[in-house]
Amino acid sequence: MSRILIISLLSLFLSSIETIQGQQSIKRNKQTTKFHYVQANTHFGYIDENDEGYFDVANSGPSNNVTYRFLSKNQRLLQKGYTKFMAVNSFSSRVSLQFNGGLADENSRNDVFSVRLQNLGLSFQTKWDRTSFFIGYNTVKFGHNPKIDPVSDFTANTTRKDIGFNQDAGLFFRTPIAENIDGELGVSIGGTISKPLAVYDMTNGDWNWMDTKYQGTWLVTGRIGTPVFNALEYGVMAMSGRLTATPTTTRQIHRLGVDFLKKIGETWKFGGQAVAGITAVDNGPNETNYNIQGNIEYYCKGQWIFNISNGILFTDFKDSGLASQTEGQWINSVSYVFSPHTRFRLNNYTNYTNTGSPDWGVTFQVITGFGKR
């Protein structure tokens, strides 16, 4: 009996040692909370502009650039898994060195290098389900516009073409209004720092820093629709603001639209949006604006991605006597995912307008990077 008791105690002691060692091992191997990632995008091909064709680096779509991204997550929040009220979820930043000029034309080699901020701010998590907000520089929350993402997608973006930018600094908030309805609100400074932080003047050999003079601009965006994780997403969106028109004038914009996104399994994705509104320029003609954007994506065997997108903007200058203007961009893209860090993409694009012949090109992208993300 005593022998059985001794063996049982020894077994219990050994198992407790293994448990303690396991707990110590877990404590030593903490979750990774800081992520550094460097990515390069090379984009070049055949370009036809003004009925003249040449080979050069791409001047439409994602620029040739090297981007550094940093993400730091709240370790305490990761361990607890919840917050009693509100807590910082993460800090993120992304900055890129871009090459904007061309190699074929010597006149386009000035001011070709620029440093651009693409993301900077704090993400907050709250105790309420599906309620979060972001403070800093981020993508304007207006419809399902493509975001600047880790793989430098080449897709049509009517918001950027309409208002001149698709990222801004401010507060971006999301919360549920009902069980299957979310509300989004963004209040930002109207594109004051949407330009490059610095541009290198190759003629003088100097860096020209961004003019941060504030002209009283602002932008408010809102959307009411289904949550982003649904197979079918749809919503109503609005945008209003005062933006820069020229270095000395501003413009009032007001937009109202609808958007949808349909996902079929892991294979197909269909998206689109339609927006209408008015623009009032200081001492200039008033405009009525309409834009439509559509996008189709097909994922094949996890390595091939086929994408077709088209964005059209129509501007009516009302009673000014100016002719109406139509401009748009049609893009076909095929991507091959070589690895989690590297992909190759073949693009065919056409930039068209009702005032001249279309510009088009066939370009090749190589996107690769290293680090943790």
φ, ψ dihedrals at 18, nearest 5°? -60, -40
pLDDT digits (tens, 9 = 90+) for 303-345: 999 999 999 999 998 777 788 899 999 999 999 999 989 999 9
Does any domain span residue 15?
no
Helix or strand (DSSP H, E) at 42: strand 34-49
Say if residues 363 and 61 touch (Cβ distance below 8 Å). yes
Grade residue 219 by pLDDT with cuts at 50, 70 and 90: very high
Q: Looking at residue 206, what DSSP letter applies?
A: E
Does any domain span residue 24?
no
Does any domain span residue 25?
no
pLDDT digits (tens, 9 = 90+) for 173-217: 999 999 889 999 999 999 988 888 999 887 777 888 888 788 899
Coil, strand or helix at 136: strand
How is residue 354 written in tokens? 């009702």
CA angle 196, 110, 209 (to 5 degrees): 30
> In this prediction, what percent of the chain has a pLDDT beyond 70?
87
Does any domain span residue 12?
no
Residue 123 has pLDDT above 70, yes or no: yes
Residue 15 has pLDDT above 60, yes or no: no
In whole angstroms, what is the distance from residue 192 CA to residue 244 CA?
8
> Bridge partners of 94?
69, 119
Full residue range of the structural domain in which residue 270 is found: 32-371
Strands 325-337 and 232-246: unpaired
Does any domain span residue 145?
yes
pLDDT on residue 135: 96
Coil, strand or helix at 16: helix
Mean pLDDT of the chain: 85
Neighbouring residues of 239: CB distance < 8 A, sequence distance ≥ 6: 142, 163, 219, 220, 221, 222, 253, 254, 255, 277
Does any domain span residue 2?
no
In whole angstroms, what is the distance from residue 224 CA to residue 127 CA?
21
Does any domain span residue 9?
no
Domain CATH for 100: 2.40.160.10
Does any domain span residue 3?
no
Grade residue 24 by pLDDT with cuts at 50, 70 and 90: very low
